[in-house]
Structure 1
Amino acid sequence: MARKHPQRSGRSQEPRHISEVVAEILARSGVAETQSARELQAAWHEIVGAPLNELSRAVRLSRGKLEVVVTHSAAVQELTFRKREILRRLQERWPQKVIRDIRFRVGPIE
């Protein structure tokens, strides 16, 4: 008598394209997030420009809010003054990402 293998719930029996499998593995491993964080930091560095790019780091994008760590309050004040311009340029650079706001906080840059 032939054994039947029960279908696992949530999994399709259809073959998947390799690009889908690789994307899923990268997402699970965090590699995609790391690459995205590098791209975000590079864009921040370019858009903000010197000397503010040496005093601040874009650390996380969550729920449309970009979190930026800044070394001291005077730099926070200058970045807050330029916030609309920076936000517009980030949105132009990455129209596929939803960046609605930027939050600055004082802290050490790692």
Structure 2
Amino acid sequence: MRVLRKRMDKPAHLGGVLRDALKASSLDVDLDLYRLWEQWTDLVGPVIAQNARPAAIKGKLLLVNVSSAPWMQQLQYLKSEMMEKLNSALEREAVKDIRFKIGPIE
């Protein structure tokens, strides 16, 4: 079966086409996780970075592994401040919630 496509009258900018393609795929989420991983220590500070690491992004939920239950409790108090810093670094509201769980910090 042949698929009919809408004809474009004007050429599109490659950057815009790529950005739209990334938004439509999971690569956008993967890039956000990579950017957070790379900037994590600068964003949360060295002490938190030694005890917590981003593990995954599911939609707008950031999953963060922490080293212990006391750290999980402490980070609950800092959650809104952390979301503000992370979204500022990503230049958009990519993270609406953070879920902490005890897991590997690598």
TM-score (norm 2): 0.69
Q: Secondary structure at the match of 2:50?
A: helix
Unmatched runs of 5 consecutive residues or more in structure 1 = 1-5
Residues 1:60 and 2:72 aligned together = no
Amino acid at match of 2:3: R
- Determine the structure 2 residue equivalent to 1:47: 43
Say whether the 8 Å CA contact 2:37–2:54 is kept in structure 1.
yes
Unmatched runs of 5 consecutive residues or more in structure 2 = none
Percent sequence identity over matched residues? 24
Task: Write out the 4+ residue segments of structure 1 that deviate beyond 6 Å after TM superposition.
Answer: none
Distance 1:56 1:82 in 2: 12
Q: 1:52 to 1:25 in 2, by over 3 A?
A: closer
Higher-RCO chain (CA-CA 8 Å, sequence separation at least 6): 2
Task: Provide Cα deviations, 1:12-33, integer angstroms capped at 9, x if missing partner.
Answer: 3437533355443796584x54
Q: How many residues align?
A: 103
Say whether the 8 Å CA contact 1:27–1:33 is kept in structure 2.
no
RMSD: 3.0
Amino acid at match of 2:35: E
